[in-house]
Amino acid sequence: MKTTYLGYLLVWMLPVVLAQWWIAGRVLRRNLKAVLLPALIVGAYLSCADAVAIRAGIWFFDPKQNLGILLFGLLPVEETLFFFLTSLLVAQSLVMFLPDTLRTPSLP
């Protein structure tokens, strides 16, 4: 089924992302730049590295299990989403567990 990869990805990751926002939404909102900037940079880097690996024939993706939307002509959009969501989860987790002294202070 063409939505298999996307379905598994969203079923596993979205509840975790939403739980983090439910638990620490105020902290994440105050530190949004510290969450989004690393997630975007790392997600883009990993997507480019994956495209290189696919082009080199190191691995491939079954076209029967993804939407068939390819970035740069070879990287399934689901794979790119995987890298950006994983980077977002890591960045959010780091900000959530930072000591208060290293976070952006709350406004009075």
Number of domains in the chain: 1
Helix or strand (DSSP H, E) at 46: helix 32-55
pTM: 0.87
Q: Who contacts 41 (Cβ-Cβ below 8 Å, separation ≥6)? A: none
What is the tens place of the pLDDT at every residue in 25-81?
Answer: 999 999 999 999 999 999 999 999 999 999 999 988 888 888 989 988 889 999 999
The token duo for 107 is 């406004």
In a domain, 83, yes or no: yes
In a domain, 20, yes or no: no
Q: Beta-strand (E) ranges in the chain?
A: 70-71, 75-76
| Owning domain of residue 69 | 4-10+30-100
Residue 47: partners with Cβ closer than 8 Å, 6 or more residues away: 71, 75, 79, 80, 83, 84
C-alpha span between 25 and 96 (Å, rounded): 9
Q: Is 106 within the bounds of a domain?
A: no
